[in-house]
Amino acid sequence: MAIIITERPNFINFSKNPIRYQLTTDIDPATPGLSVEVQLFFKLINDSDYKLVIQFPCAVDAVGNVQLDLKKLLDSQLSYLLPLIDNSITLAASQSGSFYIAFRELTDSNPPWITDGFTYFILKGGLPYEKWQKNNFFDNYAGKYWLTWQPQSIELAAWQNAWVTYMHYDAEPENSQLSIKVKVFYSDVTTDESIIMVAPINSTNFQYSIYHIPIGLQQLAIDQLAGDKQVRYYQISVFVNDVSQSVTYQVYVDYNQDYQKLQFNFFNSLGGFDSVRILGEIEKDPEYARDQSESFIGGNYYGSSNLPAQQTNVQIIEQMNYKGMVGYVSNEKNHDRLRELLLSKGIYKINNRRFVPIIVTTKSAAFGNPKAPQRELQIEWSYAYTNENYAPEWIDIPVTESTAVCDTVVSNIITSQVGQIMNITFDSAGPGTQWKIIIDGTSSYIVSAKSASISGLAAGPHTGAIVAVSSNGVMCDGIPFEFTKTAVPPPSLIKLSDYRPIFSIFRTLEFQVGPNVSAGNRFSITIFGHAVIVTATSTDTPVSIANKLKDAINETTTSEWNEFGLAPSELMIGYPPVAGTTGDKISFSLYHTYTASGAAYDF
């Protein structure tokens, strides 16, 4: 009996294109009770440990293959990260990561998991349906290129804030440094060359890391470097340990007076962060939605000095809509590149040093004659929010830094362990009523009581800090503490049987909880790809966990069972499943073409 991987993903993948595995078993696909279970593990590029994303059963086709496409599951683990507005290099840690799978085939036994020995990398983004062919982008366009379809030579206004996104391909030694070098070309034909920015590199997470790099004239302070000279253009390159890593990115400076200083920054299809200017006049077309109520007016209303209203606006909502133009563009290819703005789900304008979300509402765009000497793109947009209050758009209301001082003090921090749960208590003097508990410098928990119960921590030593929030909103200095979490016996949830009687259309599955149950343990049963999960408390036993799982299964709705589109029709006999218990055992029946899996975790 053997199951092997017969097709793998690319070594590096886009999250919005197919990420395929094929598993093949040598067992007869018609074997009763045969199924394959898969676990997907993932970590962000700068995380140290992989985490289980999902465990799910898979169908075996008529020739013994299991087909998997993990793009939706993996894409959900990544998110776009806006660059820092302070013009420094931003590590977009949430936009790339790595993954692997484990798998096993089941008949009536409970075999160990087979962990694939290969890990693969993934970036937030993708290629069009007709362009994607396995690893074609990374074989031909990546490496020393930027994550953008924009040309490597662009024009920016002198005032414009823009970024370009760079992905590093290689692993680097300890204590490496990433630097941005700029060569400036002046109108008087002289030049300057300078290292503008330096960022330290953690060698454990640098490979396939994504960086948003500011490239505007004022962002890079090139205008200060120039003094009285006028900058004609400048070239930007990425270096690691004085070795060039990227193709030069060239920026020409446009000093023409813009009618309005308006630009959009947006995430492109490759996960990069691009910029366009909106030129010419902008049409403003606000829409208003009103909720009204009617009031009863007494017969003597005419005697009042103020005429009472029969109708009242309970709420008035304003949605600001705009029309403008991106252009003029003299190059046919650059004109076509503007289609990417219309496809972006993450578009922003900068207002008062904040990224303000924008929704482009253009339904169709006229790209016109490709041979025309000048081209433009008319677009429509609105803010990604509504308002019921007014302030003039041209007025910025700056944020004033608080000069208030901390008035709350934390002391006497005590930690204790119950099962998998760490309990933290502390004393606090002062009027503050909220505290932030930070564990290992990454995980944080906001509490309004002087205690917290935290699960999900690995066994071993940990560091923490408690930050008090003063009554005036000031974040106080963190008070550090240390503790060690003791390992406890692992929990278990074993599949005892998966049995289909001869001629029956149903199979019956039975799982057993225990013998170890500790506070913080999680127990899950996955049916139709949807995981039903319960968490143990300090008073739970194997019997009570079995009953909690039974209740959780019986209370799950059909829409929840169909979370991944794998559940049967609601008209199918025996659906949704109904569970029952006998002591520490839980059982239920499914239509024979479906199966289920169980798992138990320390946290």
| Nearest one of 357, 203, 267 to 15, comparing CA atoms | 267
Contact 250, 155 (CB under 8 A): no
Please report how many Cα atoms fall inside a 13 Å half-sphere around the Cα of residue 339, on the Cβ side.
10
Q: What are 441-463's pLDDT values in tens digits? A: 766 777 888 888 887 788 888 99
| pLDDT for position 440 | 84
Averaged over 45-50, what is the pLDDT?
A: 86
Q: For all residues of the chain together, what is the average pLDDT?
A: 86
Q: What are 51-62's pLDDT values in tens digits? A: 999 999 988 898
| Nearest one of 266, 233, 270, 268 to 251, comparing CA atoms | 233
Averaged over 465-474, what is the pLDDT?
A: 78
| pLDDT for position 476 | 80
Query: What pTM was computed for the model?
Result: 0.66
Q: Rounded to whole angstroms, how far apart are CA atoms 441 and 437?
A: 10
Please report how many Cα atoms fall inside a 13 Å half-sphere around the Cα of residue 311, on the Cβ side.
5
Phi and psi at residue 229, to the nearest 5°: -80, 155
| Nearest one of 32, 33, 68, 116 to 495, comparing CA atoms | 33
| pLDDT for position 347 | 94
Can you spell out the DSSP letters for 239-275? EETTEE-S--EEEEEE-SPPSS--EEEEE-TTS-EEE
Contact 561, 578 (CB under 8 A): no
Q: What are 479-505's pLDDT values in tens digits? A: 899 999 888 888 899 999 988 888 888
Portion of the chain with pLDDT greater than 90, in percent: 38
Q: What are 248-277's pLDDT values in tens digits? A: 899 999 988 777 788 899 999 999 999 988
Portion of the chain with pLDDT greater than 70, in percent: 92
Averaged over 31-39, what is the pLDDT?
A: 87
Q: What are 335-385's pLDDT values in tens digits? A: 788 888 889 999 999 887 789 999 999 888 777 666 665 667 788 999 999
Can you spell out the DSSP letters for 373-409? SSEEEEEEEEESS-BSS---TT---PPPPP------E
| pLDDT for position 203 | 47
Q: What is the DSSP letter of 120?
A: E
| pLDDT for position 330 | 66
Q: Rounded to whole angstroms, how far apart are CA atoms 401 and 541?
A: 53
| pLDDT for position 55 | 92
Local confidence band at 174 (pLDDT 50, 70, 90 cut-offs): low
CA angle 195, 199, 200 (to 5 degrees): 130
| pLDDT for position 251 | 93
| pLDDT for position 429 | 87
Is pLDDT at 555 greater than 90 in this prediction? Answer: yes
Helix (H, G, I), strand (E, B), or coil: what is residue 73? helix
In sequence order, which residues have a C-beta less than 8 Å from that of residue 276 and are 6 or more positions away? 263, 264, 266, 326, 338, 341
Q: What are 397-449's pLDDT values in tens digits? A: 776 665 667 788 888 999 998 887 889 999 988 887 788 888 887 667 778 88
Local confidence band at 601 (pLDDT 50, 70, 90 cut-offs): confident
Strands (E), 517-584: 522-527, 530-535, 579-582
